[in-house]
A and B are shown apart, each in its own frame.
Chain A
Amino acid sequence: MVTLAIAKQTLEDMLRRKILLVLLIIAVGMIALGPSVGFLSPRESSAVLRSLGLAVILLAGLLITILSGIQVIPTEIERRTIYTVLSKPVQRYEFVLGKFLGGIFTVFVMIAAMGVVFLSVLAWQEKRFDPEMLKGVVLTFFQMTLLGALAIFFSTFATPVVNFFLSFGLFIVGNLSSVTDSLISNKNPATRIMANAVHYIIPNFGNFNLQNKLIHPSVEISNANVFIVQNIVYAVIYSAVLLLLAILVFDKREV
């Protein structure tokens, strides 16, 4: 109950920020106007919308996740609102979890809003509902959950600016799984070890991009649904580990 109260407060605080509203308006505008780029045949315009929609949701989701992940905890310390919270019968783990959940609820609300617009526009355009794209949106949300947990973990010891580069950098590296994949079979043992380390330690963000299936058709996915569930489980377990580490660090933190 305490965790949820903190999550609710965090969500409400985030949703009141103008930057989120601006992002949402821009993203929804791009998705809604995507198909009307004139001079495209209905088939082309459908293809544009599909990649544009997922890309816009990913980009906006990325910004919101990083923005909220790097600052929900530091803001509390900087504004000293944390004093009146942690002096109450609130465990530090409840605080970290509440802050994380509040950030993730925010991301969820934003992605859900963009997703509904995207799927509706697509359904209107194609006169049918495409479950593939819904899966794409859901995977993006879990990708952001993992990124959010990473940013929360860093925020327990790094400043927001450092955290921004750490989280963003790891997100990019984690998206290059195909590169590390190919390096793992490199002849040089040092390169192999490095590639292995990067591949297994850094969260594998690349696996969440359904678009990659189009870009790398050679990667054969036998059962898409199993693949999606695997990724969701991966995101949940990896996030749980990151949160556990975040709690361990924050437990010792002076506020």
Chain B
Amino acid sequence: MAAAVSIQGLTKKYLDVWNKAEITAVDNLNLEVNEGEIFGFLGRNGAGKTTTIKMLLGLIFPTSGSATVLGKPVGDTDAKAQISYLPEEAYFYESMTGWDCMDFYGRLFRIPEPQRSKRIQKALEDVFLDPKAWRRPLRGYSKGMRQRIGIAQALINDPKLLFLDEPTSGLDPIAHRELRDIIVNVGKQGKTVFLSSHQLPDVELVCSRVAIIHQGKLLASGTIQDLTTGDTVEISADRVSESLAGRIRGVVPAAELVGQRLHISAADPSKVNDVVDLIRGGGATLLSVKPHKRMLEDVFVDVVMNEGGA
């Protein structure tokens, strides 16, 4: 599979307001995004996600390193014709109507009429923007409506690659779900999506692969399956004696005894049988054995916290 985005040693240093201290917003980042995948780009606030995306679009320039997008160097006009971008907070020309705004962007993509009007109509329908709002100035749009225009303008050129920077932030639950479904749909059409988001349950649902960055450095990347392997089992039992607890700890060191209650929050599934045998054989009462699925959120917290970043 060809790489839709390929990043080699990308680094961005900003000077602070007084031009003194340097902030390394992106630090020697290496990343490959395959064609046709929905790629989740995760990291805490200030991790360097937006900075990376802006470099990939040629809005700002790397301090060092390089990147190719759709096989072309950053800023290539042919590549840009097949790319679209939804900025972190969508800003548009407030006095334009939704339709005129889309028409303007359609012209920037050099889409001729009558194709342009058709594309606009389809894009606005695809994002479920109320047709009554199409001819109203954007200044009167709610946050959710703006976000829909933002997605619509990212669909108008029928792009191969979409950069979406937090597309679902600040939306109500229904709108949130609608926009998430739009992204899934876009993915089904074989388009590549580079998605930066803090909504980890969404990412888990829609993305095939993710990368986690922290303070500009890549900490982890891989498929959701690979990252979330290591499901665990929670076991609890009552009337456990000290000596029994000792024997159980011989099998699972993480067992916690509080009073007579034993709690094991993360047991390797292969050890469950042994522990249960010990509990039953030792005269204690087995209370529960619950499988615990490792979520992306757990992975994120583990990876980021282990890096010492509080």
- Residues of A at the B interface (CB closer than 8 Å) are 1-2, 5-6, 9, 12-13, 16, 79-91, 252, 254-255
Contact = CB atoms under 8 A, between A and B. Distances in A.
B108 A5 contact: yes
Given A1-B107, A2-B108, A89-B81, A79 B91 contact: yes
A86 B87 CA distance: 12
A13 B93 contact: yes
B80 A88 contact: yes
A5 B77 CA distance: 17
B107 A255 contact: no
Contacts of B163: 87
Contacts of A89: 77-78, 80-81, 108-110
B296 interface: no
Contacts of B81: 89
Contacts of A81: 91-93
B93 A9 contact: yes
Contacts of B87: 80, 83-84
B15 to A, nearest CB: 11
B61 interface: yes
Nearest to A78: B91
Interface string B71-98: 0000001101101110101111101100
Contacts of B110: 1-2, 89
Interface in B17-57: 54, 57
A141 to B, nearest CB: 26
A80 B95 contact: no
B59 A83 contact: yes
A11 B109 CA distance: 20
B77 A91 contact: yes
A87 B83 contact: yes
A82 B60 CA distance: 12
Contacts of A2: 107-108, 110
Given A2-B110, A9-B93, A89-B110, A84 B61 contact: no
Contacts of B107: 1-2, 5
B59 A85 contact: no
A16 B54 CA distance: 31
Contacts of B60: 254-255
A91 B61 CA distance: 15
B94 to A, nearest CB: 8
Given A88-B80, A91-B77, A9 B59 contact: no
Contacts of A254: 59-61
A132 B104 CA distance: 41
B80 A5 contact: no
B190 interface: no
13 contacts: A2-B107, A83-B59, A83-B91, A84-B85, A84-B90, A84-B91, A84-B105, A84-B153, A85-B108, A86-B58, A87-B80, A88-B84, A89-B81
Nearest to B95: A16
